[in-house]
Amino acid sequence: MGDVERLASGAVDPETDTRMDKLPWAAVLMAARAMKHGMKYETDMADNWRKVPAERHLDHALRHVALYQTGDRSEDHVGHALNRFLMWGELI
């Protein structure tokens, strides 16, 4: 059994290696919107992105960052970069 934390109430609760309550949910929503937008390219494979090499996701993420940094606002580059970074992280 892992470490437990004794709460002020006297209850004990197992500690975890995550803090889901600290995630920046606005950014997560941006990534989720970009995921939905990107699905227009997929026809019959909802998880097509898993078949793309991780390095390609990183490349696309960095491209979106560069476009945003150089002033391009033609699409949601931040959301797309976040989404690609998440896909990259899932695959590495």
Query: Tell me, what's the pLDDT at 86?
Result: 97
3-state DSSP call for residue 4?
A: strand
Residues 6 or more apart in contact with residue 33 via CB below 8 angstroms: 76, 79
pLDDT tens digit sequence for 37-86: 888 776 666 788 999 999 999 999 999 999 999 999 999 999 999 999 99
Query: Tell me, what's the pLDDT at 4?
Result: 84
Reported pTM = 0.80
Q: Determine the straight-line distance between the first and last CA of the chain, rounded to whole angstroms.
A: 29
Query: Tell me, what's the pLDDT at 26?
Result: 97
Tell me the domain boundaries of the chain: 23-91
CA distance 11 to 36: 41
Query: Tell me, what's the pLDDT at 42?
Result: 64
Q: Give whole-number Cα distances, 57 to 19, 25, 32, in Å.
A: 25, 22, 15
Query: Tell me, what's the pLDDT at 17?
Result: 82
| Helix H or strand E segment including 6 | strand 4-6
